[in-house]
Structure 1
């Protein structure tokens, strides 16, 4: 199973837990990570994605040499998880997840919103709005939705340090 399929599954699972079947028309879910995770050093071990062992069979007349333009297949990146199954993600990736979930709310602004993730074991998130990006009432409603969203995401994601 590829990382993209796993990421899409995680986003779908979080969305179903939060009761959000509403998606913004233009906004796609953000990628969970921008690069391969680093090797954990605090007793956490990386989990490898399963790779089928069987290679495709070549016909008898095919040569064993690689074609000149073909690149060798790279192994998939390892996904770091904790012993209890939580994914280890950097603060930027968690902020993108939180922002992606908030974008599903009605009247959420398309721009002028920033989410900051901070802390360690019990990480938290803070939302800020640019002037004139939303109304005071909507900003208050989004801020009130944050604690519940963070509480639910903490069950699946842990901050990588």
Structure 2
């Protein structure tokens, strides 16, 4: 397979992941994931006791456990968004998004890769590779994929300062 065919497949894969087939439709941010409410664990477990004492301790703690479950959990923290619906994320979170998408590519190294996010309104990302983490050809191919990935992510994510 030639590199052009691989690059076209790579762009198509990233485009399908990020919903690039909807060019005529207005851009809408991806839905935010719902986080299930967290029930706090019992902070103190009873010490090992005899069988009858353990049963009595469980019976005493049962109303407390039921009350803890009945109490509503705190809602998850709101994710900051811009006026046009983009999520505001710090540079580290955007770098993790870029790296996560790049890890889905063929022959992407499992370690020795660093993503740097820079800029402000039109943020960008830069890839650096540790020596011997990948071949020159693969590093070039991954770096060529970054501008398309960044272009697609900019539609949904804004850099938080």
Q: Which runs of 5+ in 1 are unaligned?
A: 1-11, 20-48, 51-65
Question: Residues of 2 paired with 1:68 and 1:152: CA distance?
Answer: 49
Give RMSD over aligned pairs: 2.8
Query: Is this contact kept in 1: 2:18–2:152, CA < 8 A?
Result: no
Is the 8 Å Cα contact of residues 18 and 149 (structure 1) preserved in structure 2? no
* TM-score normalised by the chain length of structure 1: 0.59
C-alpha separation between the residues in 2 aligned to 1:74 and 1:103? 34
Asked if the contact 1:14–1:153 (Cα under 8 Å) also holds between the matched residues in 2, the reply is no
Q: Which has the higher helix share?
A: 2
- Deviation track 1:33-84 (CA, whole Å, cap 9, x = no partner) reads xxxxxxxxxxxxxxxx99xxxxxxxxxxxxxxx9424274112211111110
Cα offset, 1:105, TM superposition: 1.1
Counterpart in the other structure of 2:45 = none
* 1:81-96 pair list within 5 angstroms: 81-96=81-96
TM-score (norm 2): 0.59
Change (3 A) 1:136 1:13: closer
Alignment of 1:1-161 (within 5 A): 15-17=17-19, 67-69=63-65, 70=68, 72=71, 73-161=73-161
Superposition deviation, residue 128 in structure 1: 0.5
Q: 3-state DSSP class of the match of 2:93?
A: helix
1-side partners of 2:20 and 2:108: how far apart?
A: 16
Q: How far apart, CA to CA, are the structure 1 residues paired with 2:142 and 2:150?
A: 12
SS at match of 1:17: coil
Larger radius of gyration: 2
Shift of 1:97: 0.4
Q: Distance in 1 between matches of 2:135 and 2:153?
A: 26
Cα deviation for residue 13 of structure 1 reads 9.1
State the distance in 1 between where 2:144 and 2:19 align: 18
